[in-house]
Chains A and B, each alone.
Chain A
Amino acid sequence: MVEVQCEVMNNREVAGGVWNMALRSPDLAGTARPGQFCMLRVNRRLDPVLRRPFTFHRILPDREYIEILYKVVGRGTDLMTGLEPGAFVDVLGPLGNGYAIPEDARTIVTVSRGIGIAGLVALAEEARRRGVNVLALASFSNKDAVTGTELLDYFGCETALHTDDGVHGGTALVTDGLGARLAGRQVDQFYTCGSRRLAMAVYQWSAGHGIPAQVSLEQHMACGMGACMGCVVEAFTSGKRDAKAYRRVCKEGPVFWAWEVCGVA
């Protein structure tokens, strides 16, 4: 973990209300793992006072930069869109626990909804680098919101795109037809991010088939370092129903096993 002043290399809108920011940092690019996150200080002033958490969208150690993907949802992210190339921003990271790709994995499946694709792109890039097959199911509200899928194609993932407006021929729920799509295939692990409803759907399907799943959670955070105890979610800490506790998304997460946050294995 380091606090670094990163130069903004690029900051542009890549889909409706969704922006991509590239930040030069040999430290972050060299140490971050997919699923981990950083805390970005929007400006040096005190409003907004808190940093904002962002998962790593791309981690490029050779080119010494990282990318984040962010949706403009409030004052902090709105101000971020004004950061121009050459500006410097204060970034703390890498933080939290990343995704785990099993040693002998041959095929993994990622399931995302909207901006939740951000961190799964970093995971897919790492998996493809290791020769693991990736089936990426990506769902968006409409065709203008689609982002990240061209990268998945570029990495050589098998990408299935769904949009609610059906332009891409998808159905309303990305998990619909999961069974048919995966019939006869050996899947080693599932991954999902963001939407609680999606996490439940993935958990139910994967648990029913005895396949482990990891879920990355989003939560408002004050510190990102486990100090403020503000970002807790109720989660199971063992296979017993009475072992439920508040766990910090920043420290014990943001990546959890699906059974920890969705049910008991």
Chain B
Amino acid sequence: MPEVRPDLSVRIGPISMKNPLMVASGTHNLDYGELYPLDILGAYVPKTIRMHTWPGNPPPRTAEVPSGVVTSVGIPSKGWDAFVREDAPRLRALGIPVILSVVGKTEDEYAGMAERAGSLGFLAGVELNLSCPNIKAGGLAFGSDAKTAASLMDKVRKATSLPVIPKLPPDYGRVVEVAKACEDAGADAIAMINAPPAMVIDVDTRQPVLGNRTGGLSGPAIRPMAVYMIYRVYKAVRIPIIGMGGACDARDVIEFMLAGARAVALGTVNFFDPMAVPRALEGLREFTTTNGIDDINSLVGAAH
């Protein structure tokens, strides 16, 4: 019998991907292309950018914990113009959908970058990092309540015709209502979860380890939290979910899909297993073949 290649292709709104694998912003760079061809990915998400230059947080920026890392990098950025000059041509050359992750301190900054992103002509979508403090709202994250998230989403929606994908903070109490508010305000998909707030204290110095004192926990430690929140949001929205939060291999990717994710980003695993993407892709082919799954979309939400 000739081997049938299972169909791994998925759609995130209008974005067609040949497989559900992505990378989470800030956990990958184009140097990984020395290890494997980056166009095996379904879509690429470069490190979140800001409109203006920003040095990021003081070191130490990482603290290792069992099965995870607490980081507080602070999204350093060389600013929009340098991004367009230095990174955009290399991202365009990847030949796969590129979703640009942006962060701002005001709604206007987000909207301005979304508008400019559209004018570059090659981007497949814009991801909004909603975990950043909103200066106008006294430093509360843009994604911390439904009204603030919807207001931002609405402003960005009017600024670009590109697909817009808000990336939600992992707030157990509010994640469902924030996701729904984003959907109602025109979001094409939801990305979740961002790293939950966390802290590590050195018992010898009696001080937090990180230069910024607090950070975000990422890595396999947060996977069950991500799966649970995706499971809940899947029941509440009709738009597709891009799942992330500790996924390391093909079985994790499938777990996220069963919970309700249509695409899955590998994040922190790229730090300790730089070949995680090709391994997960091979694993997905194996799993779908072995289990007679013709279309990977049939797994989405199947745990419900």
Q: Is B69 in contact with A49, judged by CB distance below 8 angstroms?
A: yes
| Segment of A19-27, A148-156, A224-232 in the binding face | A224-232
Give the CA-CA distance A96 to B112 in the complex, in Å: 36
Q: Is A1 in contact with B62, judged by CB distance below 8 angstroms?
A: no
Which residues of chain B (54-69) have a CB below 8 Å from chain A?
55-56, 59-62, 64, 66-69
Closest Cβ of chain B to A234, distance in Å, is 8
Which residues of chain A (233-261) have a CB below 8 Å from chain B?
233, 245-246
Which of A2, A41, A220, A231 is in CB contact (< 8 Å) with B272? A41
- Known A-B contacts A225-B31, A226-B31; A50 and B271 likewise in contact (beta carbons under 8 Å): yes
A residues sitting closer than 8 Å to B (CB atoms) are 1-3, 41, 46-51, 92, 219-220, 222-223, 225-233, 245-246
Q: Is A246 in contact with B31, judged by CB distance below 8 angstroms?
A: no
Q: Is A49 in contact with B219, judged by CB distance below 8 angstroms?
A: yes
Q: Is A222 in contact with B60, judged by CB distance below 8 angstroms?
A: no
Closest Cβ of chain B to A40, distance in Å, is 11
Closest Cβ of chain A to B270, distance in Å, is 7
Measured between beta carbons, the chain B residues less than 8 angstroms from A231 are 59, 61-62
Measured between beta carbons, the chain A residues less than 8 angstroms from B220 are 46, 49
Q: Does B35 contact A (CB under 8 A)?
A: yes
**Nearest A residue to B63 by beta-carbon distance?**
A220
- Known A-B contacts A92-B274, A227-B31; A222 and B66 likewise in contact (beta carbons under 8 Å): no
Q: Does B186 contact A (CB under 8 A)?
A: no
Measured between beta carbons, the chain A residues less than 8 angstroms from B82 are none
Q: Is A230 in contact with B71, judged by CB distance below 8 angstroms?
A: yes
Q: Is B69 in contact with A50, judged by CB distance below 8 angstroms?
A: yes
- Known A-B contacts A46-B67, A49-B220, A223-B270; A228 and B62 likewise in contact (beta carbons under 8 Å): yes
**Nearest B residue to A48 by beta-carbon distance?**
B64
Q: Is B66 in contact with A47, judged by CB distance below 8 angstroms?
A: yes
Give the CA-CA distance A218 to B55 in the complex, in Å: 21
Q: Is A228 in contact with B35, judged by CB distance below 8 angstroms?
A: no
Q: Does B34 contact A (CB under 8 A)?
A: yes
Q: Is B61 in contact with A232, judged by CB distance below 8 angstroms?
A: yes
B residues sitting closer than 8 Å to A (CB atoms) are 26-29, 31-32, 34-35, 47, 55-56, 59-62, 64, 66-69, 71, 73, 76, 219-220, 268, 270-275
Q: Is A230 in contact with B73, judged by CB distance below 8 angstroms?
A: yes
**Nearest A residue to B71 by beta-carbon distance?**
A230
Give the CA-CA distance A92 to B66 in the complex, in Å: 22
Measured between beta carbons, the chain B residues less than 8 angstroms from A1 are 31, 34-35
Q: Is B27 in contact with A227, judged by CB distance below 8 angstroms?
A: yes
**Nearest A residue to B273 by beta-carbon distance?**
A41
Measured between beta carbons, the chain A residues less than 8 angstroms from B28 are 227
Q: Is B67 in contact with A222, judged by CB distance below 8 angstroms?
A: no
Measured between beta carbons, the chain B residues less than 8 angstroms from A50 are 64, 69, 271-272
Q: Is A229 in contact with B66, judged by CB distance below 8 angstroms?
A: no
Q: Is B35 in contact with A222, judged by CB distance below 8 angstroms?
A: no
Measured between beta carbons, the chain A residues less than 8 angstroms from B71 are 222, 228, 230
**Nearest B residue to A3 by beta-carbon distance?**
B275
- Known A-B contacts A228-B73, A229-B56, A229-B76; A222 and B271 likewise in contact (beta carbons under 8 Å): yes
Chain A CB count within 10 A is highest, among B59, B60, B67, B68, for B59
Q: Is B66 in contact with A46, judged by CB distance below 8 angstroms?
A: yes
Which of A2, A92, A227 is in CB contact (< 8 Å) with B29? A227
Chain B CB count within 10 A is highest, among A1, A2, A222, A232, for A222
Q: Is A230 in contact with B64, judged by CB distance below 8 angstroms?
A: no
Q: Is B76 in contact with A228, judged by CB distance below 8 angstroms?
A: no
Q: Is B68 in contact with A49, judged by CB distance below 8 angstroms?
A: yes
Contacts A48-B66, A222-B62, A223-B270 aside, 16 further interface pairs with beta carbons under 8 A come to A2-B35, A3-B35, A3-B274, A41-B273, A46-B67, A49-B68, A49-B268, A50-B69, A50-B272, A227-B29, A228-B62, A229-B61, A230-B71, A230-B73, A231-B62, A232-B59
Q: Is A230 in contact with B274, judged by CB distance below 8 angstroms?
A: no
**Nearest A residue to B62 by beta-carbon distance?**
A230
Give the CA-CA distance A225 to B273 in the complex, in Å: 11
Q: Is A233 in contact with B69, judged by CB distance below 8 angstroms?
A: no
Instruction: Give 7 A-B contacts (CB < 8 Å), ordered by A residue.
Output: A46-B67, A46-B220, A47-B66, A225-B31, A228-B27, A229-B73, A246-B56
**Nearest B residue to A221 by beta-carbon distance?**
B62
**Nearest A residue to B209 by beta-carbon distance?**
A220
Q: Is B64 in contact with A228, judged by CB distance below 8 angstroms?
A: no
